[in-house]
Structure 1
Amino acid sequence: MSDATAVAALRGVSFGYEDGPEVLGGLDFAVREGRALALLGRNGSGKTTLMRLLSGGLRPRAGRLLVDGEPVTYDRKGLTRLRTTVQLVVQDPDDQLFAASVAQDVSFGPLNLGLPDAQVRARVAEALDALDIGALADRPTHLLSYGQRKRTAIAGAVAMRPRVLILDEPTAGLDPDGQERLLATLDGLRAGGTTVVMATHDVDLALRWADDAALLTPGGGVHTGPAAGLLARADLLREAGLRLPWGVAVARLLCARGALAQGEAGPRTPEELAALVAAGAGPRSGGGG
């Protein structure tokens, strides 16, 4: 992919923390507009570092961060441009929330852009509505449930109207209903034109949700491609310290039994498998032996 077709890209980027080994070396990585991207890898593989480099929280020792093909400058003007394009929401919402109320917290970013009060209020209302927490606008942040705090942190990023929203383990700590509601919210944001990048350890979620996947392997390597194909690569998953997704294993079993044609997309969720069974899937041409 050319830099001109990527919203944000890291080119030849290397980074290491002070007095520590190099975390990423010579990395090339790009975020394609309109694609849901899952970022996967074991702890220590560099996922958090990569996300902070993309969002401007860290500056590469070597290489460049590009937005729309143009190098990012790390002065006030350059970082403001970057943060209206890319926003990162960290895993623990308590590391991000600090204001007394939900609306005050969500308004922080737009206020820092120097927007008129009317525009700030409009952005806050829009973000709260997008995250389905409009009724919590005046609620003190310390009285929110964990799921509500997650949504408030995401709303603060959405209020900046970024083209790319990066989420670090957004479903971690949520119960199944909370996870489904958050995924529905992310689908709504994508429908509105926001490109979403999600770091996760959940290969089943990545297969179900993502268009593309990026696997980070020890030593700073990264493999990127369509999620369905990349997450079927047992060799890369093993190198990245991850297991084969449930849906891939089921699809292989169905193909072996002739219930799914070779190359046909398999079920990504138990619900899709149940629907396939209910439809009476029988042997099909092209199935394995």
Structure 2
Amino acid sequence: MSESSVLVALRGVSFAYEDGPAVLNGLDFEVREGRALALLGRNGSGKTTLMRLLSGGLRPHAGVVTVDGTPVSYDRKGLTRLRTSVQLVVQDPDDQLFAASVAQDVSFGPLNLGLPDAEVRARVEEALTALDVARLADRPTHLLSYGQRKRTAIAGAVAMRPRVLILDEPTAGLDPDGQERLLATLDGLRAGGTTVVMATHDVDLALRWADDAALLTPSGVRTGPAAENLARAELLRAAGLRLPWGVAAAALLRGQGLLDGSTTGPRTAEELAALTTGRTGGRD
């Protein structure tokens, strides 16, 4: 891919918290337009720090953050440019929601941009609809279910119309139906032109959802096609992760002659069932 397809990047970035060791050291990292990117690593590997650097919540001690190849300046103008391009939604929605009602919370970001009232209303309606919470616009945020609070927090970021949406463990705490609905919503956002980055510990979800997987290891970040990176046992061990079941299932199917080397392996239980049913001709 060309450099022009890189939306936001870290170039030689290092960061350490006060009186602590370096969390990231000389890191190069890119978010490319249109690619669903899963960010994985053990606790303490630097995922949260990386996400906050990308979104302007932290400033690197060395190196630069770039948007469209241009280094970010940490004055008001530069940070506004970064934060209108990149939005981060943290894992716990209660850390992000604070307004009295859903609509008021979602409108906070656009209002801070100084947009006209009509534009703010349009953005709020668009975001609420995209996250399937329009019916909750007037509901107090403290009366929402956990899944509704998650969606409202994401809607607040979407209302900023970012080019890059970064989500920290967005499926954590959701039941299976809630997870499926959220993934469908993310597919809709991607179809509308938003590039999505998801930090997760769930290797099965990453294999199913992501185009690319970035694994944080003690020796740095390793980014590549999700199907390839998540099949590399040594890389997964270095990142403190296990092998996705879909990779193991594909290896078993190939060993039994049920899947050729050029065919993509199953990413979900439903795909595995469909694959094996097709091979057996639908016999019980």
Question: TM-score with structure 2 length normalisation?
Answer: 0.97
The letter for the 1-side match of 2:89 is: V
**1:75-120 deviation line (CA, Å, top 9, x unaligned):** 1101111111000000000000000000000000000000000000
**1:187-215 deviation line (CA, Å, top 9, x unaligned):** 00000000000000000000000000000
Gap runs ≥5 in structure 2: none
Partner of 2:57: 57
CA contact (8 A) 1:15 1:24 kept: yes
In structure 2, distance between residues paired with 1:69 and 1:231: 29
Secondary structure of the residue that 1:225 maps to in structure 2? strand
Secondary structure of the residue that 1:100 maps to in structure 2? coil
In structure 2, distance between residues paired with 1:108 and 1:230: 39
In structure 2, distance between residues paired with 1:151 and 1:110: 17
The letter for the 2-side match of 1:168 is: D
Partner of 1:10: 10
Secondary structure of the residue that 2:266 maps to in structure 1? coil
**1:209-265 deviation line (CA, Å, top 9, x unaligned):** 00000000125x100000000000000000100000010000000111111112321
Question: TM-score with structure 1 length normalisation?
Answer: 0.96
Provide the aligned C-alpha RMSD in A. Answer: 1.0
CA contact (8 A) 1:106 1:152 kept: yes
Deviation at 1:278, TM superposition (A): 1.3
In structure 2, distance between residues paired with 1:281 and 1:118: 58
CA contact (8 A) 2:15 2:23 kept: yes
**1:41-76 deviation line (CA, Å, top 9, x unaligned):** 000000000000000000000000000000001111
Deviation at 1:3, TM superposition (A): 4.2
Partner of 2:157: 157
CA contact (8 A) 2:258 2:279 kept: no
Deviation at 1:19, TM superposition (A): 0.4
Q: Map of 1:1-289 to 2, 5 A cutoff?
A: 3-218=3-218, 221-280=220-279
**1:256-282 deviation line (CA, Å, top 9, x unaligned):** 111111232100000000001111259
In structure 2, distance between residues paired with 1:4 and 1:112: 29
In structure 1, distance between residues paired with 2:181 and 2:7: 27
CA contact (8 A) 1:3 1:9 kept: no
Gap runs ≥5 in structure 1: 283-289
CA contact (8 A) 1:10 1:66 kept: yes
Identity %: 84
